[in-house]
Amino acid sequence: MKTGLHQHGVMRQDLRINPRLYQAMDLLYMPLLDLQQHLKQELLGNPFLELVEPEEETELSLAEETKAEKEKAETAGDDEPDWEKLLLDNGSDGLQRDYSEAREYVEPVTVETRDLSDHLREQVQMLDLTSRQRLLAEEFLGNIAEDGYLGATLEEIVEGANQLLKEHAEASTKDVHVEPYTLAEAEELLHIIQRLDPPGVGARDLRECLLLQLEEQRQSETLAYRLVKEAWEDLKAHRWSDLGKRFGLEPGEVQRVADDLARLDPKPGLQYSAADQGYIIPDLVVEKIDGKYHVFLNDTGLPRLRISKTYQDIARDRKKFQGENKEFINQRLNSAHWMMQAIEQRRQTMLKVMNFIVDRQREFFEKGVEYLKPLTLREVADVIQMHESTVSRVTNEKYVQTPRGLLPLKFFFSSGLSTTTGEDASARAIKAQIQKLVADEDPSNPLTDQQIVQLFEQKGIRIARRTVAKYRDQLNILPARMRKRL
């Protein structure tokens, strides 16, 4: 084997994506609010971009614009910044610093909200508990999930609390022996936690949650309480006849009691959920004008950008700019032009996609969701002559305000089922029809999955029984046996 350094040539193909292409794809992906924030930061970071004020959006003639610039120069006096000095600074000091400070200022701030844990902790603080009980209570609160259920067994809670006791003992300088927690202590404190608001909090399962709510309503002696406590499995399975025989009642009366139980809150903790209350601003608007549907971009809130004439005039004097200054100017000017082109490209792409959707789904806009046609990203991509991933970015997290309400663009895309006429039916439309069939059925004789299949066959739609069952589950519709009313 010969050792040493050697050189040899190799030919290979590499796929390298221009960083600007990544940024263009990001612009397509951004919802309206994110794009607003992004453009504001671009304004702060690039001196060649400036904001068009609302009163300036009506285009000025060349003479008016020249006159305005002249008057501005005459009245500015000593207050006018030295643009040439700023530009020649190469952004190494002032521009960079101003940008970072402004960027820090416009960053969104997370606002602390009051959640279930805070609500429970406030109540525990008002209870007359010993320090030992308070430490165990903290272990309980840390194991209560957002929906209000206890997410750990009593054994696990006792183990966690004893671990805390051990850590406190090791950190303490005093040689004091502390008795470990027992299951009996945990059981006793759990009953205290379960009496807090909201009713049902701290339950270990749905059955216990309902029992706690009934106890809070002082219904411990009612038939509803007995049904939940003594016949939970039969109650879940809707065995009204068996329950009627067991408790000496008519099946219809048992069913009415079950209806009252259904009004209780199965997840009491969610009323104190810390989830963000998100406000949706539609990116697009579809309006029906004179019998035709028109698509508009809802971009009135976006900053209107243009190339700064002041900086352009300075940049034209190329004798003053050499080396790094010249490179900085070229980079910023090119970036400004590219940003404006990318924004316009985003607008045109979104309009193309939405116009095709409106043309394809006209029956939906006229008649409702039952007439929604199947549509895939590839179909849209082929028609507007763009890549499927581009269409995916355009439709992701975007909303459109339509005569049928505020809808995500993904709403219009769904798979299809074949029909006897050779056309396809949208899976979303099939679900809507199943929902309507169940809503209109005879409650005393509800439709089975096979009967729904037969009704679809009469409409010329081929669908398997297991598909009906899958769609019914997705719609949270119970099987026929459990929907039957006595």
Tens-place pLDDT, residues 239-264 = 999 999 999 989 999 999 999 999 99
What end-to-end distance do the CA atoms of the chain give, in Å? 91
Domain that holds residue 461: 414-486
Rounded percentage of the chain residues whose pLDDT exceeds 90: 30
Residue 176 in any domain: the answer is yes
Residue 406 domain flag: yes
Tell whether the model's pLDDT for residue 42 goes beyond 80: no
Q: Which residue is it, tokens 């219809």?
A: 252
In a domain, 76, yes or no: no
Give 310-331 pLDDT, tens digit per residue: 776 766 666 666 656 667 777 7
For residues 208 and 9, which has the higher predicted lDDT (pLDDT)? 208
Query: pTM to 2 decimals?
Result: 0.59
Q: What's the average model confidence in pLDDT over 393-411?
A: 88
Query: Is a pLDDT exceeding 70 seen at residue 110?
Result: no
Number of H helices, E strands in the chain: 23, 8
Same domain, yes or no: 254 and 229: yes
Confirm whether 90 is domain-assigned.
no
225 has pLDDT over 60: yes
234, 253, 273 - which closes a domain: 273
Quick one: pLDDT at residue 140?
Answer: 92
361/431 same-domain check: no
Would you say 263 and 14 are in contact if contact means Cβ atoms under 8 Å apart? no
- Summarize pLDDT for 416-468 with one digit per residue, the tens: 666 655 556 677 888 888 988 998 898 888 999 999 998 988 888 888 888 88
My answer on whether 304 and 247 are in the same domain is no
Among the listed residues 29, 30, 36, 35, the one whose alpha carbon sits nearest the alpha carbon of residue 390? 29
pLDDT over 70, % of the chain:
72
Asked if 421 and 481 sit in the same domain, the reply is: yes
Same domain assignment for residues 149 and 124: yes
Res 213 pLDDT > 90: yes
Whether residue 198 is preceded by a cis peptide bond, meaning omega within 30 degrees of 0, is yes
- pLDDT at residue 484 tops 80: yes
Q: What's residue 211's pLDDT?
A: 96
In terms of domains, do 291 and 261 share one? Answer: no
Radius of gyration of the chain (CA): 34
Mode of pairing for the β-strands spanning 284-289 and 292-297: antiparallel
Same domain, 457 and 478: yes
* Residues counted in the chain: 486
* 288 and 408 assigned to the same domain: yes
* Residue bearing the bigger pLDDT, 268 or 115: 268
Clarify whether residues 430 and 320 are in a common domain: no
Q: State the CATH number of the domain containing residue 420.
A: 1.10.10.60
Q: What is the pLDDT of residue 4?
A: 64
Asked if residue 151 is part of any domain, the answer here is yes
In order of 114, 122, 274, 412, 456, the CA distances from 111 in angstroms are: 10, 20, 11, 34, 51
**245 falls within a domain:** yes
Q: Is 102 within a domain? A: no
Statement: residue 233 has pLDDT above 90:
yes
- pLDDT at site 305: 74
> Does residue 295 sit in the same domain as residue 373?
yes
Q: 438: Cβ–Cβ under 8 A, 6 or more apart, which residues?
A: 446, 447, 472, 477, 483
Residue 15 has pLDDT above 50, yes or no: no
Domain assignment of residue 182, yes or no = yes
Q: Which residue has the higher pLDDT, 41 or 121?
A: 121
Task: Return all residues near 184 (Cβ < 8 A) that are at least 6 apart.
Answer: none
* Final residue of a structural domain among 141, 171, 196: 196
Tally of domains in the chain? 4
To which residue do tokens 């070229």 refer?
330
Beta strands in 304-445 (DSSP E): 305-307, 399-402, 405-408, 416-418, 424-426
Say yes or no: 346 and 461 in one domain. Answer: no
Is the same domain home to 291 and 393? yes
DSSP, res 461? B
- Which among 112, 193, 90, 185 is positioned nearest to 148, based on CA atoms? 193
